[in-house]
A and B are shown apart, each in its own frame.
Chain A
Amino acid sequence: MLREFTAHRFHWPGGLTAYLFLLPFLVPFALLWLFPILQGLYLSFTNASLTPGQERFVGLANYQELLRDGVYLHSVGNTFVFVVENVPLLVVGGLLLALLTNEPLPGRAAFRAAFVAPYLITGSAVAIIGKFVLSPDTGVLNTWLADAGLPGQQWLDNPGQAMWAVVLITLWWRVGFPFLVILAGLQEIPGELYEAAKIDGAGAVQRFRYVTLPLLAPVLLFVLIIRLIDSFKVFAQVFLVTGGGPFGSTRVMLQYLYEAGFQDYRTGYAAAIGWSLFLIILVVTLFQLRFFRGVERYE
């Protein structure tokens, strides 16, 4: 990608006038993105609190404390639980819905709209709706279970179930994105390939296995990575549905960052939590790219 900047085959206009075009972006970029990134990195090596100018350099102390902090480690574990439960469900769910509505069914435009619509709902509304459906007091779901003769569930008050409740709410809310991206990928697969496979006697399963899946692989990988990154940053729906409870069983990393930074005012420590989150995302993403390196070649 960088080569294009070194090869000057064109006589391109520009020079310093180009900076007139760049300035409206560069000023906020420098002040609100680049500088905070660097300052955050610095703060993570200090014992800063919210009163500026008081901080002392403490080296790796914050990061060492993270490794000993049970609440932090618990939040890392919860975040991983959420990611592991949520990401496959979303990608597979999106794939199935995309395959389903890629068929020439009557009313499929309406079906597609239904699956995408929740994606446009703001997180705190999702939380209220989710609680409304799941909570034992108002919960519609338990009423139905009772009608069907099944025992009601304490979805949100049971440490074993609360995370699953959040995961299901997230599936309902976010599946529109993998669904749409995979659907767009499906529509780009030329119909002749399926015809050819049919003539060769391939059944539906074989066509999926040998035509759809390999051609869709890059799209699936992309969706997987995006969903993975997004899932590590889970916050609003968990914070608002369960508040991190019961017994901290759903407190995720961003919630702990929020509590450390803006309730306990431990700015430096919160910055370290933020960078540890970035580090985890980076490692997982790189690992995944490496793991699926063969897949990308299909393009």
Chain B
Amino acid sequence: MRKSARPVWLGRAALTLVALVLALIWVLPVAWVLSSSFKPQFEIVGPVRPFLPLHPVFGNWENLTDPSGRAVNIFVAFLNSVIVALASTAGALVTSSLAAYAFARLRFPGRGPLFVVLLATMMIPYEVVLVPLFLQFHRFGLLNSYPALILPHVVSVLGIFLLRQFMQGIPRDLEDSARTDGANLWQVYWHVILPLTKPALSTLGVFVFLGAWNDFLWPLIVVSTPDKQTLPLALVTFQSAYGDLDYGTVLASVIVAIAPPLLFFLFAQRLVIQGISRTGLKG
């Protein structure tokens, strides 16, 4: 016990060093992309590749704001991504919380069988229904539209389970007293249950938002014109249009695409971290 003071201090310093090196490795690729978006082409692909630009230029960023002659406008794609992600999140929160309330608190005919159906389909990954889902939107005449990009993210069986679990933990007395005061079911849901479910709602919100914002495969299939492309898709188009001649412009577009979630993460770290780790725990 006596000699433990120095090893603890030393050990901690060593661990800090290890953590620091790893964290730098994790940050470096993004930092490199950011600094390279201010480099001229020859500093990016040339034989000498400094970390900071030797001849800083803004041309790559100007290329982004001047869409002349290019099919893809990164800002249109940005707007599409924002619309799709926000609408998906709002839709999933509304539909899942309503249904979760019914499953947590209401009795109705067919409740048991319905729950079993939900459970059974929850296991199936959406990639498996890619083809029939595409046919379904084809049938509705909704291919290459916002609804096609949004609606699949709205259906969240996982969200229902998450919220239902949380709602079941809310003490019943609150609702009972609201009911005695003459509140109807809708008012109980809106004024009592929803405010108390906020932590779970924000968890689900982060989850759905990121899912919609990052989705690649589904937009790749349903989108056929540049004006409906979301960011993940637009980046790819951008790279094939610019990749060889203007690497810096591609890298600038990458920064545009990844900055909003990263900035949101920096400012709302706790919310995001809870959102990610809670989907991991039971409930």
Contacts and interface: CB of A to CB of B under 8 A. Distances in A.
Interface of A: 2, 5-6, 8, 12-19, 21-22, 24-26, 28-29, 31-37, 39-40, 43, 50, 52, 97, 100-101, 103-125, 127-130, 132-133, 137-138, 140, 143, 172, 176-177, 180-181, 183-185, 219, 222-223, 226, 229, 233, 235-236, 240, 254, 257-258, 261-262, 267, 270-271, 274-275, 277-278, 281-282
Nearest to B255: A125
Contacts of B130: 257-258, 261, 270, 274
A172 B26 CA distance: 7
B185 A267 contact: no
Given A29-B155, A52-B138, A120-B258, 8 more contacts: A5-B111, A21-B106, A25-B96, A31-B136, A40-B129, A124-B232, A124-B235, A235-B217
A185 B24 CA distance: 25
Given A21-B106, A22-B102, A277-B127, A117 B262 contact: yes
A46 to B, nearest CB: 11
* Chain A contact surface mostly: helix
A14 B128 contact: no
A121 to B, nearest CB: 5
Interface residues of B, number: 94
Given A128-B235, A138-B247, A258 B217 contact: yes
Nearest to B122: A33
Contacts of A121: 30, 258, 261-262
* Chain B contact surface mostly: helix
Given A32-B133, A274-B129, A124 B276 contact: no
B221 A262 contact: yes
B194 interface: no
Contacts of A123: 214, 216, 232
Contacts of A111: 19-20, 22-23
23 contacts: A2-B112, A14-B105, A14-B107, A15-B109, A16-B109, A17-B185, A19-B108, A21-B102, A43-B131, A106-B16, A114-B22, A119-B276, A124-B231, A125-B258, A129-B33, A132-B251, A133-B29, A181-B281, A184-B280, A236-B216, A236-B217, A236-B232, A257-B130
Contacts of B26: 114-115, 117-118, 172
Given A184-B277, A274-B128, A278-B124, A24 B98 contact: yes
B112 A22 contact: no
Given A116-B276, A176-B276, A274-B131, A36 B136 contact: yes
Which of A37, A183, A222 has the most chain B CB within a 10 Å cutoff? A37
Nearest to B99: A25
Which of B107, B213, B220 has the most chain A CB within a 10 Å cutoff? B107
Contacts of B22: 97, 100, 111, 114-115
A267 B154 contact: no
Nearest to A180: B277
A265 to B, nearest CB: 10
Interface in B112-132: 112, 114-117, 121, 123-125, 127-132
Interface of B: 12, 15-16, 18-20, 22-24, 26-27, 29-30, 32-33, 36, 44-45, 49, 94-96, 98-99, 101-102, 105-109, 111-112, 114-117, 121, 123-125, 127-136, 138-139, 151-152, 154-155, 157, 160, 179, 185, 189, 210, 213-214, 216-217, 220-221, 231-233, 235-236, 239, 247, 250-251, 254, 257-258, 261-262, 264-266, 269, 272-273, 276-278, 280-281
Contact of B266 (A108, A113, A138, A223): A113
Contacts of B264: 120
B276 A132 contact: no
